[in-house]
Structure 1
Amino acid sequence: MNQMEKLICSKLHEIEKENNVKILLAVESGSRAWGFASPDSDYDVRFIYVRPKEDYLRLENVRDVIELPIDDVLDINGWDLQKTLRLLYKSNPTLFEWFSSPIVYLETDFADRFRKIMGEYFSTKKSLYHYISMAEGNYREYLKTEMVRAKKYFYVLRPVLTCRWILERGTPPPMLFRELMESELPKELVPEVEKLLDLKMNSPEIKEIPRVDKINEYLNESIEEIKFKLKSVGENKEVQWEELNKVFLEEID
């Protein structure tokens, strides 16, 4: 365990003590988990926690998020178990990312049990809407000028490739960008994207480059194609609360 991991684990234990909670899972969720961190990338730590049973029986609302002040190095926040289960019922894509992160700081038996039931709640339609909205918004905001920040390409490439993965397989996408790239990116674009990866991982976050028209063209066409295909995607299953209620009661017991 390196010094930063020790610091993160120390912060997590402080959160448990100061908030009287138990952390069930803590992972990296940003560019470090995606596999293309810059030298000055911060650490995006996300966690799931559970409170004592009595807190869930109170008449007044108890806040279901814990957030630490953000600085240049650490961005740490987490969701209450009850919030987490309700979001899984809605097939929240962020949850699927957290639970597939390759960088895990803290984990309990809950995480494995949760992963086993997650697939039952995965919605291709909701996930596609989430990622294509992200891709379209980021493309419009960041990639239309003559000079663009290199990192912003991945804010569009990743959700586009994720959509292609979901359309082909109907399963939650992998967290690592390289796995998505090797599976979904046209081979003729791989050299260009490899150059961007090298820039992203070896340059400051603010590094600007001339717009790469070849990649822009691919992204623009992909966004329109995915939006068209999405029109014919139906909801693939009905989900039930029973399993989620069971998990909740087991954890607070």
Structure 2
Amino acid sequence: MTTHPVSGLSDLTRVVAEQQYPLLFATVSGAHLYGFPSRDSDVDLRGVHLLPLREVLGLTPAQETRTRMWDADGLEMDLVTHDLAKFARLLLRPNGYVLEQLLSPLVVHTTPEHAALVDLAPRLLTLHHARHYRGFAKTQWRLFGKTGELKPLLYTFRVLLTGIHLMRAHEVQADLSTLLDSVRAPDYVRDLVTAKAAAEHGHLSTLDCAPSHERMTGDVEALQAALDEAEQSTTLPEETDAGADLNELVVQTRLRSGGI
């Protein structure tokens, strides 16, 4: 698996080693993955941990999701991980968010189990993932309407373009700059990316040449229509055929761990 260092971040090896349960992988998500980080952006780490057999076989509900937040060199960082079984269940839903975490090229920690999950990823893609990106875009567009911030505006464009690209190319691509090279989008989006680099919560109103709300509304509606069309014409299947193999991966990984 190809990994790419995250420029400017402290060494996270110690953080990985300190986790109560072994991590199968940890990657960078959020603005760094999406291609529009700001100088003061939080660092969002996401991944998968493996619970011991005793905790998944007993009567007490297992702690399937764990969260840790801390400050490193002035950057706010958070690590959110799911147990392998929960992550696998999320992968079997039309959930693009967990696919982006799994396939992030910004890899902090990896294992053979991570590589096995990545190998299954192409078979987990379905036409129903368009629904995830359509809903995510609507939520972010409403948030932009309330706050006027660049961040939800860029999220709106990013998720629509990711959904269109996924339906057309059968590939999860979360980086907005890369998407702008492959999917037609308004020219001003690149300027918005540049503007957000200055501040995580910058406002559109601070830009000298900000596009009008009417123009942006028309552009968002056009991309929504393009996503609808891409969903209707995609050759992605309605259902994944990887469920049994994913289940076997969970079972065998748990059994190999041996710990109780």
Fold match by TM threshold 0.5: yes
| Shift, 1:206, TM fit | 2.1
Cα distance in 1 for residues equivalent to 2:225 and 2:146? 16
Distance 1:144 1:226, change over 3 A: farther
Report matched runs for 1:141-156 at 5 Å: 141-143=143-145, 148-156=148-156
Aligned mate of 1:198, from 177, 189, 194: 194
**Residue segments in structure 1 that go unaligned for 5+ positions in a row:** none
Distance 1:67 1:46, change over 3 A: same
- Residues 160-207 of structure 1 show CA distances to partners (whole Å, capped at 9, x for unaligned) of 1112212323x1321221111110124xx33x1221111112x11122
1:132 maps to 134
Cα distance in 2 for residues equivalent to 1:180 and 1:226? 14
SS in 2 for 1:46: strand
Pair 1:250-2:252 in alignment: yes
**Residue segments in structure 2 that go unaligned for 5+ positions in a row:** none
Aligned length, in residue pairs? 240
RMSD: 2.5
- Residues 188-244 of structure 1 show CA distances to partners (whole Å, capped at 9, x for unaligned) of x33x1221111112x111221235233332112322453476578795235354212
Deviating above 6 A after TM superposition, structure 1's stretches of 4 or more consecutive aligned residues are 231-234
Distance 1:167 1:137, change over 3 A: same
1:223 maps to 224
Distance 1:167 1:240, change over 3 A: closer
| Shift, 1:54, TM fit | 2.5
More helix per residue: 1
Distance 1:240 1:99, change over 3 A: closer
**Counterpart amino acid of residue 31 in structure 1:** A
1:4 maps to 9
2:126 maps to 123
Q: Indicate if the aligned counterparts of 2:158 and 2:174 stay in contact, CA closer than 8 A.
A: no
Distance 1:117 1:240, change over 3 A: closer
Q: Indicate if the aligned counterparts of 2:164 and 2:230 stay in contact, CA closer than 8 A.
A: no
Report % sequence identity.
21
| Shift, 1:3, TM fit | 7.1
| TM-score, L = length of structure 1 | 0.84
2:183 maps to 184
**Counterpart amino acid of residue 227 in structure 2:** I
Pair 1:109-2:112 in alignment: yes
| TM-score, L = length of structure 2 | 0.82
Distance 1:194 1:229, change over 3 A: closer
2:239 maps to 237
Q: Indicate if the aligned counterparts of 1:102 and 1:175 stay in contact, CA closer than 8 A.
A: no
SS in 1 for 2:48: strand
